[in-house]
Structure 1
Amino acid sequence: MNNGEKSIHEFDFTLICEYFSSLKRQGPGSPEITVKALRFIDNLTSKSKIADIGCGTGGQTMVLAKYAPGHITGIDLFPAFIDIFNRTARNQHFQDRVKGIIGSMDDLPFKNEEFDLIWSEGAIYNIGFEQGINEWYKFLKPGGHIAVSEASWFTRKRPAEIDSFWKDAYPEIDTISNKVGLMEKAGYIPTATFVLPEHCWIDNFYIPQTGMQERFLKKYAGNRAAEELVMNQRHEAELYHTYKKYYGYVFYIGKKI
């Protein structure tokens, strides 16, 4: 990347897992936003099946469990995340209908037309928005919904620094209208899109990292990889504060035809 910067994908998985597992959320969002997106999903019943792909430690999944009926399967690549996920489900008495499993989103262990709802907050970028919505389509029942939050451009032009940063970090970042077009092309009826407010980034994602970063650096004093990971996250936060009018997360909700 430019100026020696790294993408989050270039860091050691063990360090990434430890760093983010100490946070309630592994990406921008909020319980209120999860509930808002859920309001666009109809026809869920106690027999419905929901998949939360790239669930992390399950912050948003437990909100789904509180406000949506049915059985929820969370899946994530990191075993430590799933351990926290299942412990939280038990602590909140959701263990009878919420379960976390270890797995990769590009090789999902699900059956065709198994789910009424596929959910993914801030995680589909790991496989890519277009590939994700196309490959996950087969797991939805006809009339089922997909709801994902995804980094998107708010404008067609932006300063070179932020344009370069995001094109290096996530080449698939695009405008809202182009993302909606990809949903239509994949066979969904786009039913809703909305932008996540700033507090989902600042208050719920970046600020919670500040105190934790000091503890992380103290634990890994002299570890160059740990120091670079923290520097990377601090740089990303600085860029958001500077350029937040040009990009952010957008929720995309669609219905399978």
Structure 2
Amino acid sequence: MYRISELAAAVGLSRTALLYYEKQKLISGKRLENGYRLYSDKDLQRVRLIQQLQAGGLTLKECKACLESKLDRHLLQSRLRQLDEEIALKQQSRALLAAMLGEGDLRTWHEDLDRLAPDAHLDWLMNQGFSEKEALRLKWLSKDMNDHETYMADFMKVFEGLERWGPGSKKDTLKALSLVPAAPTSILEVGCGKGLATKVLVDNTGAKVTAIDNEQSALTELSERFEQQGISGRLNTVCVSMTELPFEKKSFDLIWAEGSAYIMGVQKALAQWHPLIQPGGFMMVSDLVWLTDKPSQESMEYWKQAYPDIQTIKTRMEQIHVAGYDMVDSFSLSREAWDNYAEPLRKRIHDLSPAMPGSVALQNIETEMGIYRKYLGEFGYQMFVLAKRS
């Protein structure tokens, strides 16, 4: 026979838990005249059996039913399915923690988090010690904070020396500029990169152009090239994040953003840049969009990971209106613009592949080129010329 304290010690439960078991008639102690409760070996074994059943996911009520009658196979099957689901979730949790410690692939987690909470994702990456520039590159390119440096080294090796890092052409930039209803006098170009569009804006307007980028080396190269050509007088370069532009409200009558707004999110860019435009001013923003309502499955799956915020033209136009702009005009980027980007890049991949076996960055770029080759036309860049509503 066992006193309640002895039974509690034997089964690893508290005195309160055993009293609850007794209240539920799972065990039956005998009270002595001196007030002590005594429990038999049968009670001890019943408690141990209950503990085993509870380890299988049964509640105390369900344990009691199992003890007092035949097994409820439907109940057990239900609990088995539930346990399988819990195990799968635990395995996912373990895989995530292992990946965060550098023992697995973080790509899917970064993609999912960026789709669900893009701003929180960026803030978290910066809290891990990445600068905003590196956090943005990680968010959009490497998607693995443990291998980011290796990834970016390979990525830069592929793109170094290439004139364009994205689709574009002088002809398309000029076409978009021709759609701006009034001649600009002060232009803010967001994400100027190597300055291909900057040159078009300076050559074809009389405006003062402020070109911003978060890569100082690109801005330095741009300034030096303009100085050599004797056209630097109307150019001002600023190394700054597009998310925190240091300009007064109503500073520009035209904001120009070719293929850059996606970095901070198109809707966020439309909202944050709106106050910088003068009354009656304009914006040109380009973005990757669906050009069909029924894209192929492979194309949808790829862009779901590569650019989760890809939208139809109609959806983007609705967002543009909500953000305080009227649509002036829009058009899809030409095939020439895509070829200007893709053909030199394909050649670069071909030349580098033998020297970069196993490079994740190179593999991702090759995958992107394959999607372009097979499905361009289902998606494309759309150039939107907008007028700010007062």
Structure 1 and Structure 2 fold alike (TM over 0.5) = yes
Compute the TM-score of the two structures, normalised by the length of structure 2: 0.59
Which residue pairs with 1:253 in the alignment?
385
Pair 215,111 (structure 1): closer, same or farther in 2 beyond 3 Å = farther
Are 1:17 and 1:80, in contact at CA under 8 Å, matched by a contact in 2?
Answer: no
Amino acid at match of 2:299: I
Matched residues in 2 for 1:148 and 1:15: separation? 29
Which residue pairs with 1:208 in the alignment?
344
Are 1:44 and 1:116, in contact at CA under 8 Å, matched by a contact in 2?
Answer: no
Three-state SS of the structure 2 residue aligned to 1:96 is helix
Matched residues in 2 for 1:9 and 1:63: separation? 32
Matched residues in 1 for 2:211 and 2:156: separation? 17
Which residue pairs with 1:170 in the alignment?
307
Counterpart among 252, 257, 261 of residue 124 in structure 1: 261
1:223 deviation in Å?
8.1
1:90 deviation in Å?
1.6
Pair 137,67 (structure 1): closer, same or farther in 2 beyond 3 Å = same
Structure-to-structure mapping, 1:183-194, within 5 angstroms = 183-194=320-331
Counterpart among 343, 354, 361 of residue 229 in structure 1: 361
Matched residues in 1 for 2:381 and 2:295: separation? 16
Matched residues in 2 for 1:156 and 1:17: separation? 35
- 2:247 maps to 1:110: yes
Task: Show structure 2 runs of 5+ residues with no match.
Answer: 1-106, 112-137
Q: 20-29 vs 122-131, which deviates more?
A: 20-29
Hey, which of these two has a bigger chunk of helix by percent? 2
1:83-113 deviation digits (Å, cap 9, x = unpaired): 2221222233221111222111111111111
- 2:141 maps to 1:8: yes
- 2:159 maps to 1:26: no
Pair 235,242 (structure 1): closer, same or farther in 2 beyond 3 Å = same
Matched residues in 2 for 1:19 and 1:72: separation? 30
Structure-to-structure mapping, 1:155-166, within 5 angstroms = 155-166=292-303
Between the two proteins, the alignment pairs up a number of residues equal to: 248
Counterpart among 79, 82, 103 of residue 216 in structure 2: 79
1:142 deviation in Å?
0.7
1:193 deviation in Å?
0.8
After superposing on structure 2, the runs of 4+ consecutive aligned residues of structure 1 that deviate more than 4 Å are 11-19, 214-218, 221-224
Matched residues in 2 for 1:21 and 1:74: separation? 21
Counterpart among 29, 40, 50 of residue 179 in structure 2: 40
Matched residues in 2 for 1:35 and 1:156: separation? 29
Which residue pairs with 2:27 in the alignment?
none
1:241 deviation in Å?
1.1
Matched residues in 2 for 1:59 and 1:37: separation? 14
Task: Show structure 1 runs of 5+ residues with no match.
Answer: none
Which residue pairs with 2:375 in the alignment?
243
Greater Cα radius of gyration, structure 1 or 2: 2
Q: Percent identity?
A: 29
Are 1:21 and 1:80, in contact at CA under 8 Å, matched by a contact in 2?
Answer: no
